[in-house]
Copies of this chain bind each other. A is one copy, B any other.
Amino acid sequence: MAVKTILQAINEALDQSMEKDDSVVVYGEDVGFEGGVFRTTAGLQKKYGEGRVFDTPIAEAAIVGSAIGMAVNGLKPVVELQFSGFSLPGYNQVVTHAARFRNRSRGKYNLPMVVRMPYGGGVRALEHHSESLETLYAHIPGLKLVIPSTPYDAKGLMMAAINDPDPVIFMEPKRIYRAFKQDIPEEPYEVEIGKARIVKEGKDVTIIAWGALVREVEKAMKQVTDIDAEIIDLRTIAPMDTETIVNSIKKTGRVLIVHEAYKSFGPAAEIISRINEEAFYYLEAAPKRLTGFDVTIPLPKGEHHFIIDPKQIAYELKKLMAEKA
């Protein structure tokens, strides 16, 4: 065991995957020599050479598109898009190709590739550096979307993503890259993609979150000691672990979903719909969502209005508990 941040855990997952499997390559803008603007890939070029770890031109369609070609030709590319806000020029490749090669070729070509991107707000950054764009990836059939919230999961999910035969979008909650450490195994391990994690069991209400907001929920629950909440860290946004969610709702009858993504047509809407479909008659109160507003995420001097904090979570939770059918 070794004490690691999320950032270090991801670095270790990349390192161990590259060590074990020559076909793993890691690249993106500033990923090679410098080791990434967040230094997530630090040390890898030195260890594995410029062929397997390299800097690219500023060209997201080329980054994603070439990864598709590499995956076709026997490599396992793990590419970085510098911020999720800059993933959009590569979005055409993700949607029209990465998600579809297997289906298009009726199984001849599958794409074991990972597209990493730091995401989310709260880091006092410039425009396009704070987006939470889960919906854009989760809506597309053929993609998996994974988001860790702890160092343990970050390493295990990343190793699973690299070994996954399907393309995985891996969003990294940059706000907590270095926020805390956890004792995690030094040897390689996987955390199963498609399974949520029950952070804490509870009987009064279910709270669903992922990424940086899991911690905010945990903090909130330290303030609200009179409510016994079940906290679920979704971990995989798509394909979603509906079963874990539904089982929880059947027990608690109430649900609060917390995410930073824009509210309308956001991920919470899908969760609510699945709950409606599979546990409607267990609901004791209207499902609630506490999310980003439907406005462009503000620059830092206005960002505090947008970012969700534990106090707000506690407030919404109390309101939810007060509601009665």
What is the number of residues of chain A that contact chain B, defined by CB distance less than 8 Å?
48
A141 close to chain B: CB less than 8 A: yes
Question: Do A128 and B96 have beta carbons less than 8 Å apart?
Answer: yes
Within 8 A of B (CB), among A68-91: 85, 88-89, 91
Interfacial chain B residues near A270, Cβ < 8 Å: 264-266, 269
A273 close to chain B: CB less than 8 A: yes
Residue positions of A touching B, CB distance < 8 A:
61, 85, 88-89, 91-92, 95-96, 99-100, 103-104, 127-128, 135-136, 138-142, 238, 240, 262, 264-270, 272-273, 276-277, 280-281, 283, 285-289, 293-296, 325
- Which of B61, B139, B238, B281 is within 8 Å of A136, CB to CB? B139
- Which of B96, B262, B325 is within 8 Å of A88, CB to CB? B96
Question: Do A325 and B281 have beta carbons less than 8 Å apart?
Answer: yes
Interfacial chain B residues near A140, Cβ < 8 Å: 262
Q: Which residue of B lies closest to A60 (CB)?
A: B92
Interfacial chain B residues near A293, Cβ < 8 Å: 141
Nearest chain B CB to A46 CB, angstrom units = 33
Question: Do B262 and A296 have beta carbons less than 8 Å apart?
Answer: no
Question: Do B91 and A264 have beta carbons less than 8 Å apart?
Answer: no
A276 vs B269: C-alpha distance in the bound complex, in angstroms? 10
Q: Which residue of B lies closest to A299 (CB)?
A: B104
Question: Do B135 and A265 have beta carbons less than 8 Å apart?
Answer: yes
Nearest chain B CB to A322 CB, angstrom units = 14
> Could you list 4 further interchain pairs (A-B, Cβ under 8 angstroms) beyond the known A139-B266, A277-B286?
A138-B264, A142-B296, A265-B265, A273-B273
A296-B100 CB under 8 A given contacts A141-B262, A277-B286:
yes
A139-B135 CB under 8 A given contacts A85-B96, A265-B238:
yes
Interfacial chain B residues near A273, Cβ < 8 Å: 268-269, 272-273, 287, 289
Interfacial chain B residues near A277, Cβ < 8 Å: 286, 288-289
A242 vs B270: C-alpha distance in the bound complex, in angstroms? 17
Interfacial chain B residues near A289, Cβ < 8 Å: 273, 277
Interfacial chain B residues near A238, Cβ < 8 Å: 264-265
Nearest chain B CB to A277 CB, angstrom units = 6
A88-B99 CB under 8 A given contacts A104-B127, A141-B262:
no
Question: Do B264 and A139 have beta carbons less than 8 Å apart?
Answer: yes
Among A138, A272, A277, A293: residue with most chain B CB under 10 A: A272
